[in-house]
Structure 1
Amino acid sequence: MRKSGMQKGKGKAKEAVGKATGDRRMEAEGETDQAKGKAREAMEKVHEATEKTRDSAKRRAS
């Protein structure tokens, strides 16, 4: 599992615990962790696309 997936999962767990216990701060932390995970996931996708483009360009140049 990628780090982004772990972060989103951790956020969902925190949010659920926060809702169950009435801890609004933990709930907010969970939402923040999920947002960080989504941002990291987007960054990973851009990184992968960049690598594919670079590799494709290298093959064409050879």
Structure 2
Amino acid sequence: MGKAKAKAKQLKGTMQETAGRVTGDPKREARGHAEKLAGKAQEAASKVKKLGK
């Protein structure tokens, strides 16, 4: 997965996390946080993959 898709996933997670916090929905907030972290992991993997080339 490319860096742009990873950044998009981070943004989506941040938005979902914020929406959960604003609406008082802890499950939505947790899902957003998890998605944001997954995006960060994908971005890191993309960087490692790029260094290996």
TM > 0.5 between the two?
A: yes
Higher relative contact order (CA 8 A, sep 6+): 2
RMSD: 1.0
The answer for the alignment partner of 2:49 in structure 1 is 47
Per-residue displacement from partner, 1:18-52 (whole Å, max 9, x unpaired)? 0010000000001000110110011000111011x
- Percent pairwise identity: 35
Stretches of structure 2 lacking an aligned partner (at least 5 in a row)? none
The answer for the alignment partner of 1:5 in structure 2 is 7
Q: How many residues align?
A: 51
TM-score of the two chains, using structure 2 as the length reference: 0.91
The answer for the alignment partner of 1:59 in structure 2 is none
Q: Which structure has the greater CA radius of gyration? A: 1
Structure 1's consecutive aligned runs of 4 or more residues displaced over 2 angstroms after TM superposition are: none
C-alpha displacement of 1:15: 0.5
Note the 1:1-62 alignment, pairs <5 A: 2-51=4-53
Helix, strand or coil at the partner of 1:16: helix
Measured in 2, the distance between the counterparts of 1:19 and 1:7 equals 18
C-alpha displacement of 1:5: 0.1
